[in-house]
Amino acid sequence: MSAEPPAAARLTGVTQRYGAVTALDDVGLTLRPGGVLGLIGPDGVGKSTLLALMAGVRRLQQGRVEVLGGDMADPAHRAACAPRIAYMPQGLGRNLYSTLSVRENVDFFGRLFGQGARERRWRIDELLAGTGLAPFAARPAGKLSGGMKQKLALCCALIHDPDLLILDEPTTGVDPLSRLQFWRLIDRIRARRPGMSIVTATAYMSEAERFDRLVAMEAGQVIASGTPAELRAKTGTETLEEAFIAFLPSDKRGDHATITLPPLPERDGAPAIMAQDLTRRFGDFTAVDHVSFRIEKGEIFGFLGSNGCGKTTTMKMLTGLLDPTEGTAELFGRPVDASDLATRRRVGYMSQSFSLYAELSVRQNLVLHAQLFQFSRDRQRERVADLLERFDLAKVAEARPAHLPLGVRQRLQLAVAVLHEPEMLILDEPTSGVDPVARDRFWALLIGLSRQDGVTIFISTHFMNEAERCDRISLMHAGRVLAVGPPDELRAARGADSLEEAFIDVLRAETETADPDAAPVPQSGQTPSRPRSPLLSVGRLWAFARREGIELLRDRVRLAFALIGPMILMIAVGFGISFDVENLTYATLDRDQSAESRALMRQFEGSRYFSDQGRLTSLAAMEDSLRAGDIRMALVIPPGFGHDLLSGDAPEVALWLDGSNTVRAETARRYAQTAFLDFLVEMSETETGTTPEIYPANLEPRFRYNQSFESAEAIPPGVLMMMLIMIPTMMTALGVVREKELGSITNLYAAPARKLEFLLGKQAPYVAVAMVSFAILVAMLLTVFGLRVQGSAGALVTGALLYVGAATGFGLVISTVVRSQIAAIFGSAIIVMIPTVNFSGMLYPVATLDGVARGIGQGFPALYFRNISAGVFNKGLGFADLWANHLALAGFCLLFWALAAALLRKQEA
């Protein structure tokens, strides 16, 4: 620490293990301030882990990581230096929000770093102008091409003028022109801010030439470091690509040799693929515009073009995944037909994004596909073993793809695509993110397939050295094919030295007016505002809330479901749940056949509670009818009933009830007893002319709060309680776990934000939606159900606010615990529904609950809001009577916040 300037980052003895896999093994390296350090190495050697550790988004296991003069294992230092670090994770736009526009995305990051409105405005303007994104400021990030996404991600990373920029394969899957622009942009930014240090990983050796220093990694260890020239000199090779291969241990190099393409033998017969004026529109956007081509059997046909130019859409139309809007496509001389299973067996397809099962192991994925292609058991074993070997997957055969690096996953996808030995391969950027050795091996395989087995290969790529290995290539841009021909011809036609130049030349001629290189270099002398990080920053909280809110507002379908669902349920459940049983089916077994027995039957027939199903002939018939569910109740009048009644012998009439539904049976018993008493009174009146004194005193029930004793008065306030917990919980329960599944959670890890700001920000928009829903539901209670706010409206609204606060908080707790969105949905359905419906006084009074159930009911917020809701609507109560419930709900809010904050991790494992 004496004369040397402090390093921007220094790693010593860093070791990271995941299960049996050692990701990093005693790694040490130093990044000089203002330097650009490039990490190169095959897939899965620990480059991403290393970068994530430097960014502080992963928890360090062993060793020491010093960044910007402090220890990254220390949370206080991490929090202090987070505003000075920018981290761009691997994957195209993985940390962007796809429904937010370009400007909104950058704006969100600006807010996260506490910048004021004016500062954000000039910074965003400057960055967008500098990256050429200015014309697309209003476009949603999800609709950008891959290259534009990466530029946008860079804007987001640069908004706060970081001192350390960490880029994890920023240009993987990006076309050459965009790649060129991307690095030029970085150069210009460096020229402006010489103090900024950059560390990056890349799969393109041509890019690695630009970096000051390179670190070559292999199996979690640093195997070489130095300037690009030094590395080339050390191995005595001409290019970095060759140097890279030379550095590898000999067993990794395999049978590497320069790839050559034997000439395509003449073949006759129908072409393998024919496309005629193929067109596909999405709304008013034309993704593919009258594309025609013809590919012969056994040909390797390369598809090149900028990101988002329609390559993927064309491929999907060929596989039948998408129907063309216009034009025709033929495979093997037959029109593409989505339902044609025979053709599917002859085609292997690999999609751009990983589309295998992350929850199955590598071997299981291969076996599943072998089974789906009806391989015999022996052939399955043989083929899977062969592919594991050939694609260098044997070591990870039992690992799950979710835990494997991008390049290894791509190899697995390739293995699956060729598994059934198809006659045609349609491969959508199969080698993006794959290291040079593996790529060469793969190409050797493709060429073998094409030349020996006559397999037709239709492949898209961004690697120019791959394009040169194709028989013919086509250049595509903005949905149209610009040029088709053998690589050499295309290069010659443009008079370019390399295919890359030719390609860039063609694209430039086509691309938009605004060449970003011509745009002014961002010039800001102003230092970024870096306010001290307070305990709870309202600005950052608002940044999270605003972003979540915009996403919610853009998702109209979700918003509609969230508001309409409760309305439908209010009607269905409010009217449907009813204990006012009517029309109970019953039948009579009359063994007396007297005037009296008929009078008794008339009494039942006349009641609106009962519905007569006729006479029974025997007890056996009665049993059958009850068993079949045809009747719910049977009246058995004994022989001699009339006689005994008149002679005062007190005969007994049997009432058989279907006990399978106890609620119904109890109600039926009550009604029957009343009807029977009425019968006795009437009998007595007609026989003796006097009203008998059956009871010595009258018991007059007075139903308070619901005079007419109707379910339609008592149930709807409970439905309000149910809706205000189920929907908000469901909405927030997916919040955190979804960001985990889709990757944007990294922003929380990398940003100088506190957990509570993130959680409260997530919660706020859903509280707002829930309150809108509350207003709608209350309006329904007042109009449709004719209820009145008899008590204090203030108590109701305050209670609702606290209640939805607790509900959304509970959703966040679920979200931090579960691993998958499925578990979150299921958890918030079952965990919430059972106590809400059963233990919160909606159907059954809490006072009658026993033991555990009562405890669960009291330990859940629903009960307290139901007290408020029923208190205000049915009982006419106010704050004075209900405050204890408000207090309880507030307590739940605090409890759930504390729990969610405690359970949420601020770093990856």
Partner 1 sequence: MRSLHNIFRLGLKELWSLFRDPVLMGLVIYTFTGAVFAVANGVRTEVRNAAIAVIDEDRSEVSDRLRDAFLPPYFRPAPLIDLNQMGPAMDRGDYSFVLHIPAGFEADLLAGRQPDLLLNVDATAMTLAGNGTAYIRSIVQQELAGFLHSGDTDLPATLIPRAWFNPNLHSSWFFAVMQVIGNVTILSVVLSGAAVIREREHGTIEHLMVMPVTALELMLAKIWANGLVIVSAAVLSLLVVVQGVMGIPVPGSIGVFALGAGVYLFSVTALGIMLATFARTMPQFGLLAIPVFVVLYLLSGGVTPLEAMPEPLHSLMHLSPATHFTSFAQAVLYRGAGLGLVWRELLIVTCIGTVFLALAQSRFRKTMAAAR
Which of positions 438-497 make contact with partner 1 (CB under 8 A)?
A: none
Give CA–CA dist 592/594, Å, rounded. 5
Give CA–CA dist 659/621, Å, rounded. 17
Q: How far is the CB of 874 from partner 1 (least distance, A)?
A: 5
Q: How far is the CB of 198 from partner 1 (least distance, A)?
A: 32
Q: How far is the CB of 412 from partner 1 (least distance, A)?
A: 12
Query: DSSP for 475-528?
Result: EEETTEEEEEE-HHHHHHHHT-SSHHHHHHHHHHHHS-S--GGGSPPP---SPP
The answer to whether 669 contacts partner 1 (rule: CB under 8 A) is: yes
How many residues form the binding site for partner 1 (CB under 8 A)? 159
Q: How far is the CB of 663 from partner 1 (least distance, A)?
A: 5
The answer to whether 653 contacts partner 1 (rule: CB under 8 A) is: yes
- In our burial notation (b when 16+ CB lie closer than 10 A, e otherwise), range 391-413 reads bbbeebeebebeebbbbbbbbbb
User: Binding segment for partner 1 among 38-46, 166-174, 353-361, 528-536 (CB under 8 A)?
Assistant: 353-361
Binding residues for partner 1 restricted to 580-619, rule: CB under 8 A: 580-585
Give CA–CA dist 863/842, Å, rounded. 8
CB 842 within 8 A of CB 721: yes
Binding residues for partner 1 restricted to 728-787, rule: CB under 8 A: 730-731, 733-734, 738, 741
Sign of the dihedral defined by the CA atoms of residues 318, 320, 321, 323, in that order? positive
The answer to whether 825 contacts partner 1 (rule: CB under 8 A) is: yes
Q: How far is the CB of 172 from partner 1 (least distance, A)?
A: 18
The answer to whether 372 contacts partner 1 (rule: CB under 8 A) is: yes
Could you give phi then psi for residue 460, rounded to 5 degrees?
A: -110, 145
Give CA–CA dist 474/460, Å, rounded. 9
Binding mask 846-885 for partner 1 (x = CB under 8 A): xxxxxxxxx-x----------x--xx--xx-x---x----
Q: How far is the CB of 201 from partner 1 (least distance, A)?
A: 24
Query: DSSP for 440-483?
Result: HHHHHHHHHHHHHH--EEEEE-S-HHHHTTSSEEEEEETTEEEE
Q: How far is the CB of 764 from partner 1 (least distance, A)?
A: 16
Nearer to partner 1, 333 or 629 (CB): 629
Binder to partner 1 among 24, 159, 166, 356 (CB under 8 A)? Answer: 356
Query: What are the angstrom distances between the C-alpha of 102 and each of 481, 738, 743, 837, 879?
Result: 28, 21, 18, 44, 48
3-class SS of residue 112? helix
Binder to partner 1 among 225, 286, 524, 706 (CB under 8 A)? Answer: 706
Query: DSSP for 312-334?
Result: HHHHHHHHTSS--SEEEEEETTE
3-class SS of residue 91? coil
Could you give phi then psi for residue 176, rounded to 5 degrees?
A: -60, -40
3-class SS of residue 555? coil
Binder to partner 1 among 492, 493, 514, 572 (CB under 8 A)? Answer: 572
Nearer to partner 1, 166 or 425 (CB): 425
Other Cβ atoms within 10 Å of 328 Cβ, number: 14
Q: How far is the CB of 692 from partner 1 (least distance, A)?
A: 8
Binding residues for partner 1 restricted to 532-571, rule: CB under 8 A: 555, 557-558, 561-562, 565-566, 568-569
User: Binding segment for partner 1 among 29-37, 125-133, 232-240, 692-700 (CB under 8 A)?
Assistant: 692-700
Helix orientation angle between 862-870 and 793-817, rounded to the nearest 10 degrees: 160
User: Binding segment for partner 1 among 179-187, 272-280, 390-398, 687-695 (CB under 8 A)?
Assistant: 687-695
The answer to whether 359 contacts partner 1 (rule: CB under 8 A) is: yes
Could you give phi then psi for residue 240, rounded to 5 degrees?
A: -65, -35
Residues in the chain: 909
CB 447 within 8 A of CB 261: yes
Give CA–CA dist 548/815, Å, rounded. 15
The answer to whether 893 contacts partner 1 (rule: CB under 8 A) is: no
Binder to partner 1 among 665, 890, 895, 903 (CB under 8 A)? Answer: 665
User: Binding segment for partner 1 among 71-79, 124-132, 526-534, 823-831 (CB under 8 A)?
Assistant: 823-831
Binder to partner 1 among 225, 325, 328, 684 (CB under 8 A)? Answer: 684
Binding residues for partner 1 restricted to 316-345, rule: CB under 8 A: 316, 319-322, 338-339, 341-342, 344-345
The answer to whether 629 contacts partner 1 (rule: CB under 8 A) is: yes
Q: How far is the CB of 615 from partner 1 (least distance, A)?
A: 19
Give CA–CA dist 184/366, Å, rounded. 42
Give CA–CA dist 882/869, Å, rounded. 10
Query: What are the angstrom distances between the C-alpha of 259 and each of 84, 170, 407, 703?
Result: 45, 27, 20, 91
Residue that is written with structure tokens 């010593």 in the block: 12
The answer to whether 714 contacts partner 1 (rule: CB under 8 A) is: yes
Nearer to partner 1, 306 or 816 (CB): 816
Q: How far is the CB of 575 from partner 1 (least distance, A)?
A: 5
Nearer to partner 1, 118 or 704 (CB): 704
Count how many Cα atoms sit within 13 Å of the Cα of residue 283 in the half-sphere of its side chain.
Answer: 1
Nearer to partner 1, 202 or 816 (CB): 816
Nearer to partner 1, 498 or 578 (CB): 578
Nearer to partner 1, 542 or 844 (CB): 844
Binder to partner 1 among 70, 821, 891, 895 (CB under 8 A)? Answer: 821
Two structure tokens written together for 889: 């709900």
Q: How far is the CB of 424 from partner 1 (least distance, A)?
A: 11
The answer to whether 280 contacts partner 1 (rule: CB under 8 A) is: no
Nearer to partner 1, 123 or 316 (CB): 316
Two structure tokens written together for 99: 């429904």
Nearer to partner 1, 174 or 683 (CB): 683
User: Binding segment for partner 1 among 220-228, 248-256, 723-731, 757-765 (CB under 8 A)?
Assistant: 723-731
Of 307, 305, 304, 274, give the one whose Cα is nearest residue 292. Answer: 274
Binder to partner 1 among 542, 705, 879, 883 (CB under 8 A)? Answer: 705
The answer to whether 830 contacts partner 1 (rule: CB under 8 A) is: yes
